[in-house]
Amino acid sequence: MQGFYEENALVSVQTTQPLDRLLDYRAPEGGCHQGAFVEVPLGPRKVIGVVWGPGQGNFDYSKIRQVIRVLDVAPMREEMRAFLERCGAYTLTPMNAMLRLATRAPGLGDPPSMQKVYSLGEGEPPRMTDARRRVLDACGEMGGLSLTLKELAEAAGVTTSVVKGLVKSGAVREEQTPRDTGFPILDPEHGGKELTADQQTAAEALQQGQASHAYNTVLLKGVTGSGKTEVYLEAVAEALRQGRQALVLLPEIALTAEFLTRIEARFGAKPAEWHSGVTMTERRRVWRMVAQGHAQVVVGARSALFLPFQRLGLVVVDEEHDTSYKQDDGVLYNARDMAVLRASILGAQVVLASATPSLESWNNAEAGKYKRVILSSRYGPAVLPEMRTIDMRREDLPSNRWISPSLQRAVATRIERKEQSLLFLNRRGYAPVTLCRACGQQIGCDDCDARMVEHRFLKRLVCHQCGESKPMPDKCPSCEAEDRLAPVGPGVERLAEEAQELFPEARIAVLSSDLYGTARELKGQIEAIAAGAADIIIGTQLVAKGHNFPLLTLVGVIDSDLGLQGSDLRAAERTFQLMRQVAGRAGRAEKPGTALLQTFQPEHPVIRAILAGDEEAFWKAELDERRAATMPPFGRLAGIILSGEDPAKVFDLGNHLARNDAPLRRVGATIYGPAPAPIARVRGRHRVRMLVKAPKDVMLQRALAEWAGQVQLKGDLRLSIDIDPQSFF
Ligand code: ADP
Ligand code: ZN
């Protein structure tokens, strides 16, 4: 049991307000527990906080105000607090910001709210109408379950006044129930598939890891379609049997719909969901129910890691290599790494699932820190696709065309056989550049150092940096020449146009995140395509992830060289992962698949490794290079971004920091820069970056804090530190 403070005892409270210290209060009437969520007065306002410990008592007691009340939510557990503290220390994030992450649910301070629900009452109404009949039928079909007024009216196709009329006569019963209800119980024995011998061994290995309730991490590696999901659902089942909660993190939230259906098939009911598409009321419910243990499984985005689980036993990180696990705004944390941290504090298991693990995880498994469980073949008759390059230097292709004759022939064959082809291009929109043929100007964003991308579907130019958009102009904004603006280079929309010209009869579907207003629309489209509604699918990296298209037998990668040019340390790794994932889309069902990679550099080592499918060789070569350069995972990096409106001031700050590097030198770290960031201006702010490189086993965070603490940020200057940066923008 956590400590208890009697009424009026001094307590210190951590709030979510941007203050760099704890605040002292007197415990409220009736006292409070350590960890309690409380409402406290702060100046004229009331704010939410957590009782952190005994008060410091260095103020005049008579002036200290009292905690207003304890909120009606489960207190923060010691384990959660330790997690927030260590996560904050690792990412150099102040505790108030960490607490904000842990309280991202609306209305935590509200009293438990009630709602009216409706079910079948007694007797028939004095006068029966069609509409009334439909309401009673709808109630009857719910088999004793209750609906809200809106739900019932919708189900019956009537206005709410019809329902209210029935309530008056008693034919429909109206009751008050708590709004935040628990989630349906999941049954671990409900509907498991019969596993193959390989899968069974893998599932048992995961289950064994949970037996002792001790921390362990397993890297579950297996080609796409090998049944990784089936296997880790068995680990979820094991957690349920032990009465522990499970969290499944997914990178692409649009995909959760398909996944939720799978959970329902396996465990008999849907789990709780946590991501940006979830309504505020539902968020509140999830947060509270997770804290009370009435949500056994949560499927969510990275921020679900900060939910107040009561007895978390398992965290699955699906597609663990995915870059979207690294938060890139607000608190800079990598959900994969923080999942391992949280589990190590709790004594829980982490399952990192991927067909193409990150170099870090692969290295940790090599070093014996993670257990490795491998599924080596695809489930059923599906075999891995054959992969070949198309040497673009030898293809006869007019300019402004991207589908080579070889690829065109391959697609034509698939259409004849009534099979699907996927053309993959990781570029949203119509064309990445719009050029004026009169003056040579390329249309850029007013606020960023970036070209604007034409989105013909929206009839707008969009900046992919800041999201600013403007209508497609008909004259050049620079020289005012009319009708001289020309698209340069391909985006998926333009590729679709080309494909339609080449195959006028074909049904073409474009899958790009910006073309769908909602996750539901996207889900509908994905289902339709899987059922055969398209002959040619044109997609961005959205399609690389987790879908099953049984009719798909050909993948054509339009520009395999796109990812090879990056100045990024991880460019090769990412290209490798992406290509393997995309190729993994082909031939998932009975029909064998083929992947064709259009490239101008077929001899590039990354392209060759992809073709050879020799992952071990690829990783070993990458690791050797990183070891030689003492880059992660053999050394540590921190990215520093300085920004401000006046570029000279930003550079001055950078130079000042670079000169005063003693705290960093003491731990053997080196500073590179300041240099203009690859995107040197975003939303009107100039950006300068520095890179700090340190040996592996030093206290880098402490040194960074001391180093950055030497300067006072004046005016609009900002400094942000990104530990283990994933990208260098
Ligand atoms: P992965 O997560 O490795 O991509 P999945 O678990 O999604 O693989 O499996 C791919 C497909 O094969 C899914 O449709 C899944 O339901 C099916 N599958 C895998 N293993 C089995 C099994 N043992 N029995 C029946 N279907 C299976
Ligand atoms: Zn912009």
DSSP string, 210-229: HHT---EEEEEEE-TTSSHH
The answer on pLDDT for 321 being more than 50 is: yes
Crossing angle of helices 615-628 and 605-612, in 10° steps, is: 150
Give pLDDT tens digits for 584-622: 766 655 677 888 999 998 988 778 887 877 777 778 878
The answer on pLDDT for 567 being more than 60 is: no
Which ligand neighbours the alpha carbon of 377 most closely?
A: 1
Is CATH 3.40.1350 what the domain over 114-178 is classified as, yes or no?
no
The residue with greater pLDDT, 425 or 343, is 343
**Alpha-carbon gap, residue 97 to 94, rounded angstroms:** 6
Closest residue CA from atom 19 of ligand 1: 227
**Range(s) within the chain of domains with CATH label 1.10.10:** 114-178
* Most informative mutation of 196, 230, 248, 376 for ligand 1 (most atoms within 8 A of CB): 230
CA of 434 to the centre of ligand 2 (A): 15
**Range(s) within the chain of domains with CATH label 3.40.1440:** 4-81
The residue with greater pLDDT, 572 or 133, is 133
Closest residue CA from atom 9 of ligand 1: 227
Nearest in space to 618 (alpha carbons), one of 357, 245, 278 = 357
The answer on pLDDT for 255 being more than 60 is: no
* Pocket residues: Cβ below 6 A from ligand 1: 193-196, 199, 222, 224-230, 379, 548
Give pLDDT tens digits for 363-411: 899 899 999 999 987 766 556 678 899 999 999 988 889 999 999 999 9
Is residue 536 very low, low, confident or very high in pLDDT (cuts 50, 70, 90)? Answer: very high
What does the pLDDT read at residue 1? Answer: 46
The predicted model gives 211-229 an average pLDDT of: 91
Using a pLDDT cut of 70, give the percent of the chain over it: 93
Which ligand neighbours the alpha carbon of 468 most closely?
A: 2
Give pLDDT tens digits for 50-97: 999 998 877 777 788 999 999 988 899 999 999 999 999 999 999 999
**Range(s) within the chain of domains with CATH label 3.40.50.300:** 197-375, 381-427+491-629
Burial of 401 (C-beta count, 10 Å sphere; 0-12/13-18/19+): middle
What does the pLDDT read at residue 254? Answer: 57
Is CATH 2.30.29 what the domain over 4-81 is classified as, yes or no?
no
Q: How far is CA 331 from the centre of its chain?
A: 14
The predicted model gives 442-461 an average pLDDT of: 86
Contact 587/626 with Cβ under 8 angstroms?
A: no
User: Which amino acid belongs to residue 278?
Assistant: V
* Most informative mutation of 229, 264, 384, 552 for ligand 1 (most atoms within 8 A of CB): 229
CA of 184 to the centre of ligand 1 (A): 25
What does the pLDDT read at residue 689? Answer: 87
Domain covering 635-723 in this structure, CATH number: 3.30.70.600
The answer on pLDDT for 667 being more than 80 is: yes
The residue with greater pLDDT, 715 or 2, is 715
The two tokens of residue 174 are 């109206």
Using a pLDDT cut of 90, give the percent of the chain over it: 45
Burial of 531 (C-beta count, 10 Å sphere; 0-12/13-18/19+): exposed
CA atoms within 13 A on the CB side of 691: 18
What SS3 state is found at 280? helix
Angle ∠(192,193,196) on CA atoms, nearest 5 = 130
Is residue 141 very low, low, confident or very high in pLDDT (cuts 50, 70, 90)? Answer: confident
Crossing angle of helices 571-583 and 615-628, in 10° steps, is: 170
CATH class label, 381-427+491-629: alpha beta
**Range(s) within the chain of domains with CATH label 3.30.70.600:** 635-723
Which ligand neighbours the alpha carbon of 375 most closely?
A: 1
Q: For the chain, what is the mean pLDDT?
A: 87
What does the pLDDT read at residue 278? Answer: 83
Nearest in space to 492 (alpha carbons), one of 506, 507, 511 = 511
**Alpha-carbon gap, residue 686 to 414, rounded angstroms:** 49
The predicted model gives 284-304 an average pLDDT of: 92
Give pLDDT tens digits for 14-56: 999 988 789 999 999 999 999 999 999 998 999 999 999 998 8
For residue 218, count other CB atoms closer than 10 A to its CB. 23
Domain covering 197-375 in this structure, CATH number: 3.40.50.300
Angle ∠(86,91,94) on CA atoms, nearest 5 = 75
How far, CA to CA in Å, does 378 sit from each of 65, 481, 548, 589, 593? 64, 57, 13, 10, 13
What does the pLDDT read at residue 344? Answer: 96
How far, CA to CA in Å, does 151 sit from each of 119, 159, 273, 631? 11, 11, 20, 56
**Alpha-carbon gap, residue 128 to 715, rounded angstroms:** 71
Is residue 573 very low, low, confident or very high in pLDDT (cuts 50, 70, 90)? Answer: confident
Lowest mean pLDDT among 77-81, 577-581, 645-649: 577-581
CA of 704 to the centre of ligand 1 (A): 46
Q: Which residue has tokens 């539901």?
A: 520
